[in-house]
Amino acid sequence: MYRYDEFDQKIVDERVTQFRGQVARRLSGELTEDEFKPLRLMNGLYLQLHAYMLRVAIPYGTLSSRQLRMLAHIARKYDKDYAHFTTRQNLQYNWPKLADVPDILADLATVEMHAIQTSGNCIRNVTSDHFAGAAADEVDDPRIWSEIIRQWSTFHPEFSYLPRKFKIAVPAAPKDRAAIKVHDIGIIIRRDASNALAFDVYVGGGQGRTPYVGHLIGEGIAAGDLLAYLEATMRVYNQHGRRDNIYKARIKILVHQIGAEEMRRQVAAEFAEIKTQGALALPQAEINRIKTYFADPPFDVLHDETALLAAQKKQSKAFAAWHDINVAQHKASGYAIVTISLKPIGGIPGDASADQMDLVANLAERLSFDEIRVSHEQNLVLAHVRQRDLFDLWQQLDKAGLATANYGLITDIIACPGLDYCDLANARSINIAQAVSKRFADLDRQRDIGELKMKISGCINACGHHHVGNIGILGVDKKGVEYYQITLGGSGDETTSIGEILGPAFGEAEVPDAIEKLVDTYLGLRQSGERFLDTYRRVGIQPFREKLYAAH
Protein backbone atom coordinates (compact mmCIF):
# COMPACT_ATOMS: atom_id res chain seq x y z
CA MET A 1 0.00 0.00 0.00
CA TYR A 2 1.00 3.65 -0.35
CA ARG A 3 3.69 5.03 1.98
CA TYR A 4 4.28 8.72 2.57
CA ASP A 5 7.44 10.33 1.30
CA GLU A 6 8.91 13.42 2.97
CA PHE A 7 6.46 15.70 1.13
CA ASP A 8 3.31 13.79 2.10
CA GLN A 9 4.52 13.67 5.70
CA LYS A 10 5.29 17.37 5.83
CA ILE A 11 1.85 18.30 4.50
CA VAL A 12 0.18 16.30 7.27
CA ASP A 13 2.57 17.52 9.98
CA GLU A 14 2.04 21.15 9.01
CA ARG A 15 -1.67 20.58 9.17
CA VAL A 16 -1.44 19.29 12.73
CA THR A 17 0.48 22.39 13.80
CA GLN A 18 -1.97 24.66 12.00
CA PHE A 19 -4.98 23.00 13.62
CA ARG A 20 -3.32 23.11 17.04
CA GLY A 21 -3.09 26.86 16.58
CA GLN A 22 -6.73 27.10 15.51
CA VAL A 23 -7.89 25.10 18.54
CA ALA A 24 -5.74 27.28 20.82
CA ARG A 25 -7.35 30.40 19.34
CA ARG A 26 -10.78 28.86 19.95
CA LEU A 27 -10.02 27.81 23.52
CA SER A 28 -8.61 31.25 24.34
CA GLY A 29 -11.77 32.87 22.99
CA GLU A 30 -9.94 34.66 20.15
CA LEU A 31 -12.19 32.73 17.76
CA THR A 32 -15.93 32.48 18.32
CA GLU A 33 -17.63 29.12 17.71
CA ASP A 34 -19.04 30.63 14.50
CA GLU A 35 -15.59 31.56 13.24
CA PHE A 36 -14.09 28.27 14.39
CA LYS A 37 -16.79 26.19 12.72
CA PRO A 38 -15.51 26.35 9.12
CA LEU A 39 -11.97 25.64 10.33
CA ARG A 40 -12.86 22.59 12.39
CA LEU A 41 -15.14 21.32 9.66
CA MET A 42 -12.23 21.34 7.20
CA ASN A 43 -10.63 18.92 9.60
CA GLY A 44 -13.46 16.51 10.20
CA LEU A 45 -14.50 17.86 13.58
CA TYR A 46 -18.27 18.11 14.04
CA LEU A 47 -20.29 19.27 16.98
CA GLN A 48 -22.93 16.58 17.46
CA LEU A 49 -25.86 16.19 19.83
CA HIS A 50 -23.81 15.27 22.89
CA ALA A 51 -20.18 15.95 22.04
CA TYR A 52 -17.66 16.65 19.30
CA MET A 53 -17.24 13.93 16.70
CA LEU A 54 -13.96 13.44 14.86
CA ARG A 55 -14.01 11.78 11.47
CA VAL A 56 -10.71 10.25 10.41
CA ALA A 57 -9.96 9.69 6.74
CA ILE A 58 -9.18 6.18 5.57
CA PRO A 59 -8.25 6.91 1.97
CA TYR A 60 -9.99 4.43 -0.34
CA GLY A 61 -10.59 2.25 2.71
CA THR A 62 -7.10 0.76 2.96
CA LEU A 63 -5.29 0.41 6.30
CA SER A 64 -2.12 -1.23 7.52
CA SER A 65 -2.09 -3.17 10.79
CA ARG A 66 -0.02 -0.40 12.35
CA GLN A 67 -2.63 2.16 11.36
CA LEU A 68 -5.53 0.09 12.69
CA ARG A 69 -3.68 -0.38 15.98
CA MET A 70 -3.29 3.38 16.23
CA LEU A 71 -7.04 3.80 15.66
CA ALA A 72 -7.62 1.35 18.52
CA HIS A 73 -5.12 3.19 20.71
CA ILE A 74 -6.90 6.50 20.11
CA ALA A 75 -10.26 4.90 20.95
CA ARG A 76 -8.82 3.80 24.29
CA LYS A 77 -6.85 6.89 25.16
CA TYR A 78 -9.19 9.67 24.05
CA ASP A 79 -12.58 8.06 23.54
CA LYS A 80 -14.82 5.35 24.96
CA ASP A 81 -12.98 2.24 23.74
CA TYR A 82 -14.82 2.00 20.45
CA ALA A 83 -15.24 3.71 17.10
CA HIS A 84 -17.59 3.60 14.14
CA PHE A 85 -16.77 2.70 10.52
CA THR A 86 -18.84 4.73 8.08
CA THR A 87 -20.34 4.31 4.61
CA ARG A 88 -17.55 6.52 3.27
CA GLN A 89 -14.87 4.07 4.42
CA ASN A 90 -13.95 6.49 7.22
CA LEU A 91 -13.83 6.09 10.98
CA GLN A 92 -15.63 8.23 13.54
CA TYR A 93 -14.89 8.87 17.19
CA ASN A 94 -18.01 9.98 19.01
CA TRP A 95 -16.65 11.42 22.25
CA PRO A 96 -13.34 13.29 21.80
CA LYS A 97 -12.61 16.43 23.82
CA LEU A 98 -11.75 19.50 21.82
CA ALA A 99 -8.52 20.09 23.74
CA ASP A 100 -7.38 16.53 22.87
CA VAL A 101 -8.03 16.73 19.14
CA PRO A 102 -4.62 18.23 18.20
CA ASP A 103 -2.94 15.37 20.08
CA ILE A 104 -5.16 12.82 18.33
CA LEU A 105 -4.16 14.30 14.97
CA ALA A 106 -0.50 14.23 15.98
CA ASP A 107 -0.86 10.54 16.88
CA LEU A 108 -2.54 9.87 13.53
CA ALA A 109 0.26 11.69 11.68
CA THR A 110 2.80 9.24 13.13
CA VAL A 111 1.08 6.49 11.12
CA GLU A 112 0.50 8.57 7.97
CA MET A 113 -3.12 9.36 8.73
CA HIS A 114 -5.18 12.51 9.14
CA ALA A 115 -8.68 13.99 9.21
CA ILE A 116 -8.14 16.40 6.32
CA GLN A 117 -11.24 17.14 4.22
CA THR A 118 -13.46 14.59 5.95
CA SER A 119 -16.04 17.36 6.20
CA GLY A 120 -16.64 20.83 4.79
CA ASN A 121 -17.59 21.95 1.29
CA CYS A 122 -14.54 20.45 -0.33
CA ILE A 123 -13.47 17.27 -2.08
CA ARG A 124 -13.94 14.55 0.51
CA ASN A 125 -12.09 11.30 1.09
CA VAL A 126 -11.86 9.35 -2.17
CA THR A 127 -13.57 5.96 -1.93
CA SER A 128 -12.91 2.81 -3.90
CA ASP A 129 -13.58 -0.91 -4.28
CA HIS A 130 -12.89 -2.74 -1.01
CA PHE A 131 -11.80 -5.78 -3.04
CA ALA A 132 -9.20 -3.73 -4.97
CA GLY A 133 -6.05 -5.66 -5.75
CA ALA A 134 -7.74 -8.97 -4.96
CA ALA A 135 -10.74 -9.16 -7.29
CA ALA A 136 -10.30 -11.18 -10.45
CA ASP A 137 -12.42 -8.83 -12.55
CA GLU A 138 -10.45 -5.59 -12.14
CA VAL A 139 -8.39 -4.06 -14.98
CA ASP A 140 -6.01 -2.11 -12.74
CA ASP A 141 -5.70 -1.41 -9.04
CA PRO A 142 -8.09 1.53 -8.57
CA ARG A 143 -6.17 2.63 -5.47
CA ILE A 144 -3.34 3.90 -7.69
CA TRP A 145 -5.78 6.37 -9.20
CA SER A 146 -7.52 7.04 -5.92
CA GLU A 147 -4.19 8.01 -4.37
CA ILE A 148 -3.37 10.29 -7.32
CA ILE A 149 -6.75 11.97 -6.87
CA ARG A 150 -6.27 12.13 -3.09
CA GLN A 151 -3.06 14.07 -3.54
CA TRP A 152 -4.41 16.43 -6.19
CA SER A 153 -7.53 17.19 -4.14
CA THR A 154 -5.76 17.67 -0.79
CA PHE A 155 -5.77 21.37 0.11
CA HIS A 156 -6.74 22.25 -3.44
CA PRO A 157 -6.71 26.04 -3.18
CA GLU A 158 -9.45 26.61 -5.75
CA PHE A 159 -11.89 23.97 -4.55
CA SER A 160 -11.99 24.30 -0.77
CA TYR A 161 -15.09 26.52 -0.66
CA LEU A 162 -17.33 24.73 -3.12
CA PRO A 163 -21.11 25.22 -3.11
CA ARG A 164 -21.35 21.92 -1.21
CA LYS A 165 -19.41 18.80 -0.30
CA PHE A 166 -17.99 16.69 -3.12
CA LYS A 167 -17.53 12.92 -3.20
CA ILE A 168 -15.49 10.92 -5.69
CA ALA A 169 -15.47 7.13 -6.03
CA VAL A 170 -13.07 5.13 -8.19
CA PRO A 171 -13.41 1.40 -8.90
CA ALA A 172 -11.76 -0.49 -11.75
CA ALA A 173 -13.97 -3.50 -12.35
CA PRO A 174 -17.17 -4.09 -14.29
CA LYS A 175 -18.81 -5.12 -11.02
CA ASP A 176 -19.43 -1.86 -9.15
CA ARG A 177 -18.70 -2.38 -5.46
CA ALA A 178 -18.36 1.35 -4.74
CA ALA A 179 -21.80 2.70 -5.73
CA ILE A 180 -20.19 5.13 -8.14
CA LYS A 181 -23.36 6.27 -9.84
CA VAL A 182 -24.61 7.91 -6.67
CA HIS A 183 -21.46 9.98 -6.23
CA ASP A 184 -20.77 13.55 -7.35
CA ILE A 185 -18.13 11.99 -9.56
CA GLY A 186 -17.83 8.27 -10.13
CA ILE A 187 -14.97 7.03 -12.27
CA ILE A 188 -14.94 3.63 -13.90
CA ILE A 189 -11.53 2.52 -15.08
CA ARG A 190 -11.54 0.21 -18.09
CA ARG A 191 -9.28 -0.72 -20.98
CA ASP A 192 -9.94 0.65 -24.45
CA ALA A 193 -9.59 -1.15 -27.78
CA SER A 194 -5.80 -0.65 -27.73
CA ASN A 195 -5.65 -2.02 -24.17
CA ALA A 196 -4.73 1.39 -22.72
CA LEU A 197 -6.42 2.54 -19.52
CA ALA A 198 -9.47 4.69 -20.17
CA PHE A 199 -11.47 6.58 -17.56
CA ASP A 200 -15.24 6.98 -17.82
CA VAL A 201 -16.32 9.90 -15.66
CA TYR A 202 -19.90 9.89 -14.35
CA VAL A 203 -21.03 13.21 -12.91
CA GLY A 204 -24.03 14.32 -10.92
CA GLY A 205 -25.15 11.24 -9.06
CA GLY A 206 -26.15 11.52 -5.45
CA GLN A 207 -28.61 10.66 -2.73
CA GLY A 208 -29.91 13.18 -0.20
CA ARG A 209 -33.34 14.72 -0.66
CA THR A 210 -33.18 14.61 -4.47
CA PRO A 211 -31.52 11.37 -5.51
CA TYR A 212 -30.11 11.16 -9.04
CA VAL A 213 -28.11 8.60 -10.97
CA GLY A 214 -24.91 10.09 -12.46
CA HIS A 215 -24.49 10.84 -16.17
CA LEU A 216 -21.57 9.75 -18.31
CA ILE A 217 -19.90 13.11 -18.94
CA GLY A 218 -16.31 12.21 -19.80
CA GLU A 219 -15.82 9.08 -21.87
CA GLY A 220 -12.51 7.34 -22.29
CA ILE A 221 -10.32 10.02 -20.72
CA ALA A 222 -6.63 9.09 -20.99
CA ALA A 223 -4.67 8.36 -17.81
CA GLY A 224 -2.35 11.35 -18.13
CA ASP A 225 -5.33 13.69 -18.54
CA LEU A 226 -7.36 12.45 -15.59
CA LEU A 227 -6.51 15.32 -13.23
CA ALA A 228 -7.02 17.94 -15.94
CA TYR A 229 -10.48 16.51 -16.60
CA LEU A 230 -11.37 16.48 -12.92
CA GLU A 231 -10.10 20.04 -12.47
CA ALA A 232 -12.25 21.12 -15.42
CA THR A 233 -15.34 19.48 -13.91
CA MET A 234 -14.68 21.05 -10.53
CA ARG A 235 -14.21 24.49 -12.04
CA VAL A 236 -17.50 24.33 -13.90
CA TYR A 237 -19.18 23.32 -10.65
CA ASN A 238 -17.44 25.95 -8.53
CA GLN A 239 -18.54 28.68 -10.94
CA HIS A 240 -22.09 27.59 -11.62
CA GLY A 241 -23.26 25.39 -8.75
CA ARG A 242 -26.06 27.02 -6.79
CA ARG A 243 -25.13 28.87 -3.61
CA ASP A 244 -28.51 30.29 -2.67
CA ASN A 245 -29.96 27.09 -1.21
CA ILE A 246 -27.87 24.35 0.39
CA TYR A 247 -30.42 21.74 -0.64
CA LYS A 248 -29.87 22.59 -4.29
CA ALA A 249 -26.13 23.12 -4.14
CA ARG A 250 -24.77 19.69 -5.07
CA ILE A 251 -23.43 19.18 -8.59
CA LYS A 252 -26.31 16.79 -9.33
CA ILE A 253 -28.70 19.75 -9.30
CA LEU A 254 -26.49 21.71 -11.71
CA VAL A 255 -26.28 18.74 -14.09
CA HIS A 256 -30.02 18.22 -13.84
CA GLN A 257 -30.76 21.89 -14.52
CA ILE A 258 -28.42 22.49 -17.47
CA GLY A 259 -28.62 18.92 -18.77
CA ALA A 260 -25.89 16.35 -19.38
CA GLU A 261 -25.16 17.64 -22.88
CA GLU A 262 -24.49 21.21 -21.73
CA MET A 263 -22.43 19.93 -18.79
CA ARG A 264 -20.35 17.88 -21.22
CA ARG A 265 -19.81 20.95 -23.41
CA GLN A 266 -18.74 23.22 -20.53
CA VAL A 267 -16.39 20.67 -19.03
CA ALA A 268 -14.88 19.95 -22.45
CA ALA A 269 -14.14 23.66 -22.96
CA GLU A 270 -12.39 23.96 -19.58
CA PHE A 271 -10.63 20.67 -20.15
CA ALA A 272 -9.23 21.78 -23.50
CA GLU A 273 -7.71 24.86 -21.91
CA ILE A 274 -6.31 23.18 -18.80
CA LYS A 275 -4.79 20.53 -21.03
CA THR A 276 -3.13 23.19 -23.17
CA GLN A 277 -1.55 24.78 -20.12
CA GLY A 278 -0.12 21.37 -19.35
CA ALA A 279 0.67 21.85 -15.65
CA LEU A 280 -1.74 19.10 -14.60
CA ALA A 281 -0.54 16.48 -17.06
CA LEU A 282 0.42 13.47 -14.98
CA PRO A 283 4.04 12.48 -15.56
CA GLN A 284 4.41 8.77 -16.30
CA ALA A 285 7.21 8.64 -13.71
CA GLU A 286 4.79 9.74 -10.99
CA ILE A 287 2.13 7.23 -12.09
CA ASN A 288 4.80 4.53 -11.97
CA ARG A 289 6.03 5.68 -8.56
CA ILE A 290 2.58 5.35 -7.06
CA LYS A 291 1.86 2.13 -8.95
CA THR A 292 4.82 0.36 -7.30
CA TYR A 293 3.17 0.82 -3.90
CA PHE A 294 0.16 -1.15 -5.08
CA ALA A 295 2.01 -4.02 -6.66
CA ASP A 296 0.70 -7.44 -5.65
CA PRO A 297 2.04 -8.69 -2.32
CA PRO A 298 4.40 -11.68 -2.71
CA PHE A 299 1.73 -14.36 -3.13
CA ASP A 300 2.89 -17.93 -2.72
CA VAL A 301 2.23 -20.19 -5.65
CA LEU A 302 -0.60 -22.27 -4.27
CA HIS A 303 -3.37 -24.56 -5.38
CA ASP A 304 -6.95 -24.18 -4.28
CA GLU A 305 -7.53 -26.12 -1.07
CA THR A 306 -10.76 -27.74 -2.19
CA ALA A 307 -10.33 -30.97 -0.25
CA LEU A 308 -9.11 -29.32 2.96
CA LEU A 309 -11.96 -26.83 2.97
CA ALA A 310 -14.52 -29.53 2.30
CA ALA A 311 -13.25 -31.48 5.29
CA GLN A 312 -13.23 -28.41 7.54
CA LYS A 313 -16.74 -27.51 6.48
CA LYS A 314 -17.87 -31.01 7.32
CA GLN A 315 -16.26 -30.67 10.73
CA SER A 316 -18.01 -27.36 11.55
CA LYS A 317 -21.35 -26.28 10.24
CA ALA A 318 -20.73 -22.73 11.51
CA PHE A 319 -17.46 -22.50 9.61
CA ALA A 320 -19.16 -23.87 6.53
CA ALA A 321 -21.82 -21.16 6.68
CA TRP A 322 -19.27 -18.41 7.27
CA HIS A 323 -17.14 -19.70 4.41
CA ASP A 324 -20.07 -19.86 2.03
CA ILE A 325 -21.28 -16.39 2.91
CA ASN A 326 -18.32 -14.21 3.90
CA VAL A 327 -15.51 -15.60 1.78
CA ALA A 328 -15.14 -14.46 -1.83
CA GLN A 329 -13.00 -15.67 -4.67
CA HIS A 330 -9.50 -14.23 -4.97
CA LYS A 331 -7.61 -13.63 -8.21
CA ALA A 332 -4.73 -15.83 -7.04
CA SER A 333 -5.38 -19.53 -6.61
CA GLY A 334 -5.10 -20.77 -3.05
CA TYR A 335 -6.12 -17.36 -1.66
CA ALA A 336 -9.46 -15.91 -0.57
CA ILE A 337 -11.05 -12.57 0.26
CA VAL A 338 -12.63 -12.49 3.72
CA THR A 339 -15.32 -10.08 4.85
CA ILE A 340 -15.34 -9.51 8.60
CA SER A 341 -18.91 -8.54 9.39
CA LEU A 342 -19.38 -5.61 11.76
CA LYS A 343 -23.07 -6.48 11.90
CA PRO A 344 -23.50 -8.94 14.77
CA ILE A 345 -27.15 -9.85 15.34
CA GLY A 346 -28.69 -7.03 17.37
CA GLY A 347 -25.50 -4.96 17.26
CA ILE A 348 -24.72 -1.48 16.03
CA PRO A 349 -23.73 -1.59 12.34
CA GLY A 350 -20.14 -0.45 11.79
CA ASP A 351 -19.08 -0.20 15.44
CA ALA A 352 -15.90 -1.93 16.56
CA SER A 353 -14.27 -2.01 19.97
CA ALA A 354 -10.60 -1.17 20.48
CA ASP A 355 -9.92 -4.83 21.32
CA GLN A 356 -11.61 -5.98 18.13
CA MET A 357 -9.56 -3.52 16.08
CA ASP A 358 -6.36 -4.78 17.68
CA LEU A 359 -7.34 -8.37 16.99
CA VAL A 360 -8.10 -7.66 13.33
CA ALA A 361 -4.78 -5.78 13.04
CA ASN A 362 -2.90 -8.77 14.43
CA LEU A 363 -4.74 -11.22 12.18
CA ALA A 364 -4.09 -9.06 9.14
CA GLU A 365 -0.41 -8.89 9.98
CA ARG A 366 -0.18 -12.63 10.39
CA LEU A 367 -2.54 -13.82 7.66
CA SER A 368 -3.22 -11.09 5.08
CA PHE A 369 -0.04 -9.23 4.18
CA ASP A 370 -0.53 -6.59 6.83
CA GLU A 371 -3.50 -4.98 5.15
CA ILE A 372 -7.13 -4.28 6.07
CA ARG A 373 -9.92 -2.74 4.03
CA VAL A 374 -12.96 -0.84 5.20
CA SER A 375 -15.98 -1.33 2.94
CA HIS A 376 -18.65 1.27 2.28
CA GLU A 377 -21.03 -1.36 3.60
CA GLN A 378 -19.42 -0.82 7.02
CA ASN A 379 -17.54 -4.10 7.22
CA LEU A 380 -13.83 -4.91 7.30
CA VAL A 381 -12.09 -7.00 4.68
CA LEU A 382 -8.94 -9.11 4.77
CA ALA A 383 -8.19 -9.21 1.08
CA HIS A 384 -5.40 -11.79 0.80
CA VAL A 385 -5.88 -14.80 3.06
CA ARG A 386 -4.47 -18.23 2.22
CA GLN A 387 -7.34 -20.71 1.95
CA ARG A 388 -5.47 -23.04 4.26
CA ASP A 389 -5.53 -20.32 6.97
CA LEU A 390 -9.26 -19.68 6.77
CA PHE A 391 -10.28 -22.07 9.52
CA ASP A 392 -7.73 -20.64 11.94
CA LEU A 393 -8.81 -17.12 11.04
CA TRP A 394 -12.48 -17.96 11.52
CA GLN A 395 -11.82 -19.43 14.99
CA GLN A 396 -9.95 -16.29 16.08
CA LEU A 397 -12.69 -14.02 14.74
CA ASP A 398 -15.43 -16.12 16.26
CA LYS A 399 -13.94 -15.75 19.76
CA ALA A 400 -14.13 -11.98 19.40
CA GLY A 401 -17.66 -11.86 18.04
CA LEU A 402 -16.44 -11.03 14.55
CA ALA A 403 -17.48 -14.15 12.66
CA THR A 404 -21.09 -13.29 11.94
CA ALA A 405 -21.96 -15.02 8.68
CA ASN A 406 -24.21 -12.48 6.97
CA TYR A 407 -22.34 -10.68 4.19
CA GLY A 408 -24.93 -9.39 1.71
CA LEU A 409 -27.81 -10.91 3.68
CA ILE A 410 -30.73 -9.10 5.28
CA THR A 411 -28.94 -8.53 8.61
CA ASP A 412 -25.87 -7.01 6.90
CA ILE A 413 -27.57 -3.66 7.33
CA ILE A 414 -26.08 -0.27 6.55
CA ALA A 415 -27.23 2.35 9.05
CA CYS A 416 -26.17 5.90 9.77
CA PRO A 417 -25.62 6.94 13.42
CA GLY A 418 -29.05 8.60 13.41
CA LEU A 419 -30.59 10.48 16.29
CA ASP A 420 -28.52 8.57 18.84
CA TYR A 421 -25.60 10.82 17.85
CA CYS A 422 -26.31 13.11 14.93
CA ASP A 423 -27.83 16.57 15.25
CA LEU A 424 -29.16 16.48 11.68
CA ALA A 425 -31.17 13.32 12.25
CA ASN A 426 -34.96 13.22 12.51
CA ALA A 427 -35.10 9.72 13.90
CA ARG A 428 -32.93 6.95 15.25
CA SER A 429 -31.52 4.39 12.82
CA ILE A 430 -29.64 2.03 15.08
CA ASN A 431 -32.79 0.90 16.90
CA ILE A 432 -34.39 -0.16 13.61
CA ALA A 433 -31.24 -1.96 12.45
CA GLN A 434 -31.14 -3.84 15.75
CA ALA A 435 -34.81 -4.77 15.69
CA VAL A 436 -34.73 -6.03 12.10
CA SER A 437 -31.49 -7.87 12.74
CA LYS A 438 -33.02 -9.68 15.72
CA ARG A 439 -36.18 -10.51 13.80
CA PHE A 440 -34.17 -12.20 11.05
CA ALA A 441 -31.50 -13.66 13.33
CA ASP A 442 -32.05 -17.23 12.12
CA LEU A 443 -29.27 -17.93 9.65
CA ASP A 444 -31.10 -20.61 7.67
CA ARG A 445 -33.92 -18.19 7.10
CA GLN A 446 -31.49 -15.44 6.06
CA ARG A 447 -29.81 -17.78 3.60
CA ASP A 448 -33.15 -18.83 2.18
CA ILE A 449 -33.99 -15.15 1.61
CA GLY A 450 -30.63 -14.66 -0.09
CA GLU A 451 -29.00 -11.38 -1.08
CA LEU A 452 -31.00 -8.48 0.27
CA LYS A 453 -29.40 -5.10 0.81
CA MET A 454 -31.11 -3.21 3.55
CA LYS A 455 -30.10 0.39 4.27
CA ILE A 456 -31.34 2.82 6.92
CA SER A 457 -30.97 6.60 7.18
CA GLY A 458 -32.14 8.74 10.08
CA CYS A 459 -32.83 11.73 7.86
CA ILE A 460 -33.14 12.80 4.26
CA ASN A 461 -29.38 13.41 3.95
CA ALA A 462 -29.25 9.67 3.30
CA CYS A 463 -25.91 8.86 4.93
CA GLY A 464 -27.32 5.35 5.37
CA HIS A 465 -27.84 5.08 1.57
CA HIS A 466 -31.52 4.16 1.90
CA HIS A 467 -32.24 5.30 -1.68
CA VAL A 468 -30.10 2.46 -3.02
CA GLY A 469 -31.24 -0.19 -0.55
CA ASN A 470 -33.22 -3.10 -2.01
CA ILE A 471 -35.24 -2.24 1.05
CA GLY A 472 -34.54 1.30 2.21
CA ILE A 473 -35.77 2.86 5.41
CA LEU A 474 -35.88 6.58 6.02
CA GLY A 475 -36.52 7.98 9.48
CA VAL A 476 -38.87 10.96 9.58
CA ASP A 477 -40.26 13.07 12.36
CA LYS A 478 -44.02 13.49 12.63
CA LYS A 479 -44.87 15.95 15.36
CA GLY A 480 -42.05 14.74 17.56
CA VAL A 481 -42.63 11.02 16.93
CA GLU A 482 -40.24 8.85 14.92
CA TYR A 483 -41.74 7.28 11.80
CA TYR A 484 -40.13 5.18 9.12
CA GLN A 485 -40.78 5.39 5.40
CA ILE A 486 -39.94 2.33 3.32
CA THR A 487 -38.60 2.34 -0.24
CA LEU A 488 -38.15 -0.68 -2.48
CA GLY A 489 -35.98 -1.55 -5.43
CA GLY A 490 -32.96 0.66 -4.89
CA SER A 491 -29.57 -0.64 -5.87
CA GLY A 492 -26.05 0.79 -5.63
CA ASP A 493 -24.25 -1.51 -8.02
CA GLU A 494 -23.58 -1.33 -11.77
CA THR A 495 -27.35 -1.47 -12.32
CA THR A 496 -27.95 1.50 -10.04
CA SER A 497 -31.54 2.43 -9.34
CA ILE A 498 -33.25 4.68 -6.85
CA GLY A 499 -35.82 3.05 -4.60
CA GLU A 500 -39.52 3.82 -4.88
CA ILE A 501 -41.62 4.87 -1.88
CA LEU A 502 -44.10 2.19 -0.86
CA GLY A 503 -46.67 4.24 1.00
CA PRO A 504 -47.39 5.79 4.41
CA ALA A 505 -44.66 5.52 7.03
CA PHE A 506 -44.66 3.10 9.97
CA GLY A 507 -44.10 3.62 13.66
CA GLU A 508 -40.96 2.21 15.23
CA ALA A 509 -42.65 -0.91 16.63
CA GLU A 510 -44.35 -1.74 13.30
CA VAL A 511 -41.19 -1.79 11.19
CA PRO A 512 -40.02 -5.40 11.77
CA ASP A 513 -43.51 -6.73 10.90
CA ALA A 514 -43.61 -4.60 7.77
CA ILE A 515 -40.19 -5.84 6.65
CA GLU A 516 -41.26 -9.39 7.32
CA LYS A 517 -44.36 -8.96 5.16
CA LEU A 518 -42.26 -7.59 2.33
CA VAL A 519 -39.85 -10.49 2.58
CA ASP A 520 -42.67 -13.02 2.69
CA THR A 521 -44.24 -11.41 -0.36
CA TYR A 522 -40.96 -11.78 -2.21
CA LEU A 523 -40.58 -15.40 -1.12
CA GLY A 524 -44.06 -16.11 -2.45
CA LEU A 525 -43.38 -14.47 -5.79
CA ARG A 526 -39.79 -15.36 -6.55
CA GLN A 527 -38.85 -17.62 -9.37
CA SER A 528 -35.93 -19.96 -9.26
CA GLY A 529 -32.59 -18.18 -8.79
CA GLU A 530 -34.07 -14.74 -8.25
CA ARG A 531 -32.75 -12.35 -5.62
CA PHE A 532 -35.11 -9.91 -3.93
CA LEU A 533 -34.06 -7.20 -6.38
CA ASP A 534 -34.65 -9.45 -9.40
CA THR A 535 -38.16 -10.33 -8.27
CA TYR A 536 -38.93 -6.69 -7.51
CA ARG A 537 -37.74 -5.64 -10.95
CA ARG A 538 -39.87 -8.31 -12.57
CA VAL A 539 -43.12 -7.75 -10.68
CA GLY A 540 -42.85 -4.07 -9.68
CA ILE A 541 -43.95 -2.42 -6.47
CA GLN A 542 -47.68 -3.16 -6.63
CA PRO A 543 -47.78 -6.68 -5.17
CA PHE A 544 -45.67 -5.51 -2.23
CA ARG A 545 -47.83 -2.47 -1.69
CA GLU A 546 -51.01 -4.54 -1.73
CA LYS A 547 -49.72 -7.08 0.78
CA LEU A 548 -48.26 -4.49 3.10
CA TYR A 549 -51.24 -2.16 3.28
CA ALA A 550 -54.00 -4.74 2.88
CA ALA A 551 -54.67 -4.91 6.59
CA HIS A 552 -54.54 -1.15 7.09
Interface residues with another protein (CB under 8 A) are 5, 7-8, 10-11, 14-15, 17-18, 21-22, 35, 38-39, 121, 151-152, 154-163, 227, 235, 238-239, 243, 273, 277, 279-280, 283, 285-286, 289
Nearer to another protein, 20 or 547 (CB): 20
CB of 239 or CB of 395, closer to another protein: 239
Q: How near is the Cβ of 339 to another protein at its closest, in Å?
A: 33
How far apart, in whole angstroms, are the C-alpha atoms of residue 272 and residue 274?
6
Rounded distance, CA 355 to CA 367, Å?
Answer: 18
- Dist CA 521 CA 317 (whole Å): 29
Neighbours of 306 (CB within 10 A): 9
* Number of C-beta neighbours around residue 152 at 10 A: 18
Q: Report the residue number, 34 or 300, with the smaller CB distance to another protein.
A: 34
Buried b (16+ CB within 10 A) or exposed e, 201-224: bbbbbbbbeebbbbbebbeebbbb
Q: Alpha carbon of 431 to those of 80, 83, 342, 346: distances in Å?
A: 20, 18, 16, 9
- Quote the least distance from Cβ 118 to another protein, whole Å: 17
Beta carbon nearer to another protein, 240 or 545: 240
Between the CA of residue 445 and those of 156, 229, 314, 408, 510, what are the distances in Å? 50, 48, 21, 14, 20
| Residue among 154 and 341 whose Cβ is closer to another protein | 154
As a three-state string, the secondary structure of 260-317 is HHHHHHHHHHHHHHHHHHCCCCCCHHHHHHHHHHCCCCCCCCCCCCHHHHHHHHHHCH
User: 61 to each of 139, 172, 225, 377, how far by Cα in Å?
Assistant: 19, 15, 25, 11
Q: What angle do CA 538, 469, 530 make, to 5 degrees?
A: 35
Query: Minimum Å distance from CB 149 to another protein?
Result: 11
Amino acid at 390: L
3-state SS string over 483-504? EEEEEECCECCCCCECCEECCC
Of residues 244 and 300, the one with the C-beta less far from another protein: 244
Q: What is the DSSP letter of 324?
A: H
In the complex, what is the shortest distance from the CB of residue 376 to another protein, in angstroms, rounded to a whole number?
25
Closer CB to another protein, 195 or 277, in the complex: 277
Which CB atom, from 285 or from 550, has the smaller least distance to another protein? 285
Decide whether 151 or 457 has the Cβ nearer to another protein: 151
Q: Label the pairing between strands 52-56 and 45-47.
A: antiparallel
* Secondary element (H or E) of residue 62: strand 62-64
CA nearest to 287, candidates 117, 143, 138: 143
Instruction: Give the integer Cα–Cα distance in Å for 397 and 478.
Output: 42
**What pairing do the DSSP bridges indicate for beta strands 168-170 and 127-128?**
parallel
d(CA 540, CA 36): 50
Closest C-alpha among 146, 210, 151, 208 to residue 178 = 146
Whose Cβ is closer to another protein: residue 106's or residue 525's? 106
Nearest approach, Cβ of residue 216 and another protein (Å): 24
| Rounded Cα gap, residues 485 and 466, in angstroms | 10
In this complex, which beta carbon is closest to another protein, that of residue 21 or of residue 507? 21
Nearer to another protein, 238 or 461 (CB): 238
Output the smallest distance, CB 274 to another protein, in A.
9
Helix axes 306-315, 390-399, angle to 10 degrees: 30
Between the two ends of the chain, the Cα-to-Cα distance in Å is 55
